[in-house]
Amino acid sequence: MRLLHTSDWHIGHYFFGYDRKTEHIFFFDWLKRVIKEQQIDALLVAGDIFDSPNPSAISQRIYYKFLKEATTENPHLQIIIIAGNHDSAARLEAPLPLLEEMNVFIKGTICKNTAGEIDYQSLFIPLTCREKTEAWCITVPYLRQGDYPNAESYSQGVKKMYEVLYQEVQKIKGENQPIIVMGHLQATGSEISENDRSERTIVGGLECVSPEVFDKTDIVYTALGHLHKGQRVSKRENVRYAGSPLPMSFSEKYYKQGVNLVELVNGQLERIERIHFDPPVKLISLPPDPKPLNEVLKELMILAEGETTAQSPYLEIKVLITEPEPSMRHQIEEALRNKAVRLTSAVPYRQRKEHTTESITYEELKNMEPIEMAKDIFSRKYGNEMPEKMASLLMQVIQEVGK
Ligand SMILES: [Mn+2]
């Protein structure tokens, strides 16, 4: 039996205001080819289907078109989808009565009985190959407060949830039937990209779940979603993030996008193979390290000329600011006229200290305290530290203004 693990599609994502629908369509065409060529029996989608809980009509259309075409082309294909923290759990499940007919299963919400007990059975899905149940899938969507058994913390609750599910599934599964686990969570020991908002929105980005909960001999593979970088979790070969198919920010520029192929033979894990996907739109950062505006403008000249299309690369420009440049944006836009790129951002970097190349980012600048900024400017202008008295008077003013 062959499974294909993917996640974090984020359909409907806008990259600095640019619509990415052609990129998503390109990915789904590629994914359909892989499913067919590799004779996949089940596609596991580990959450964050859409970028927002209320996806646009076009986003939904792209999604349903993919589900319909993939299942029509491959009549035996099962598709199993769990909701991520970006999805609306209830909305994702809403079309289930229709989708079930097409062998598509969706888990978004955790059902409870009138006594408030979790319906664990509803989270088990048999994975079938040639009409025979080959394995059992534990499908756990992104868990929100109250979705898991009572525990001291979020991570303890999630851990307990998986432990109970593991016990419960033993009651229904046959001896030679292995377990596949799905989850949308942040596991301890995994890498996340710098300043990525969409990954960090999970409970403040702090609550990590220990992957030890997946260390059972009959759990042959754990298909995780949430982190955008495809990776093994703490060196575990069979506990993996598939990663998102499209880079979601410039910090994800060097990620290797793809999906994971998992093959089971006679109830055992036979192999795991990473299938690489090459996103159709490239990300360019120019220059690699911030430089003054006149040098940046020269570097922009090397960019290819042509018309801007939905395939044109996204361009991020890093400018080292040494003095105010009110016309920076205009000069950059002029330099990019007739260039086949799409400008996303011109990030101003400010020189931190004289005679050093260390610079600070716009994000850092935004988070800087006004008093620190004033002290820095004072010392540059007058060559020495701001006098204590002046600093305390300025602090008083800042506090007055902030009231
Ligand atoms: Mn997520």
Per-residue pLDDT tens over the stretch 241-260: 999 999 999 888 889 999 99
Q: What is the pLDDT of residues 38-78, one digit of tens each?
A: 999 999 999 999 999 999 999 999 999 999 999 999 999 99
Domain final residue, candidates 236, 259, 276: 276
Centroid of ligand 1 to alpha carbon of 190 (angstroms): 14
- Residue (of 213, 226, 205, 208) closest to 6 by Cα position: 226
> What pLDDT is attached to residue 368?
76
Asked if 41 and 130 sit in the same domain, the reply is yes
The rounded Å distance from CA 324 to ligand 1 centre is 39
Query: What spacing in Å lies between the alpha carbon of 228 and ligand 1's midpoint?
Result: 8
| 228 lies in the same domain as 115 | yes
Q: 305 and 227 in one domain?
A: no
Distance in Å, CA 10 to ligand 1 centroid: 9
| 178 shares a domain with 53 | yes
Over 60: is that where the pLDDT of 197 sits? no
Distance 319 CA to ligand 1 centre (A): 32
Same domain? For 326 and 377 the reply is: no
pLDDT of res. 2? 97
pLDDT at res. 402:
75
Domain of 114? Answer: 2-276
Alpha-carbon distance of 290 to 287, in angstroms, equals 6
Q: Give the pLDDT mean for 323-348.
A: 87
pLDDT tens for 262-315 read 999 999 999 999 999 999 999 999 888 888 898 999 999 989 899 999 999 999
Q: Is the pLDDT of residue 363 over 70?
A: no
Does the pLDDT at position 383 exceed 80? no
**Do 289 and 216 belong to one domain?**
no
Whole-number pLDDT of residue 351: 67
- pLDDT 10s digits, 200-217: 444 444 578 889 999 999
Query: Which of 247, 276, 305 is the endpoint of a domain?
Result: 276
Q: How many angstroms does the Cα of residue 192 sit away from the middle of ligand 1? A: 12
CATH number of the domain that 8 lies in?
3.60.21.10
pLDDT band at 5, cuts 50/70/90? very high
Q: How far is it, in rounded angstroms, from Cα 264 to Cα 332? A: 54
Q: Within this chain, do residues 43 and 174 fall inside the same structural domain, yes or no?
A: yes
d(CA 286, CA 101): 50
Q: How many CB atoms lie within 10 A of CB 316?
A: 17
167: left (phi over 0), alpha (psi -120 to 50) or beta: alpha
| Claim to verify: residue 115 and residue 256 sit in the same structural domain | yes
pLDDT of residue 199 exceeding 70: no
Do 289 and 246 belong to one domain?
no
**C-beta separation of 224 from 183 below 8 A:** yes
pTM here?
A: 0.83
* Same domain (yes/no): 38, 109: yes
One domain, residues 188 and 245: yes
In angstroms, the CA 180 to CA 260 distance is: 13
**Ligand 1 mean position to 246 CA, how many Å?**
14
How many domains does the chain divide into?
Answer: 3
CA of 330 to the centre of ligand 1 (A): 36
The yes-or-no verdict on residue 358 having pLDDT over 80 is no
Residue 328 sits in the same domain as residue 223: no
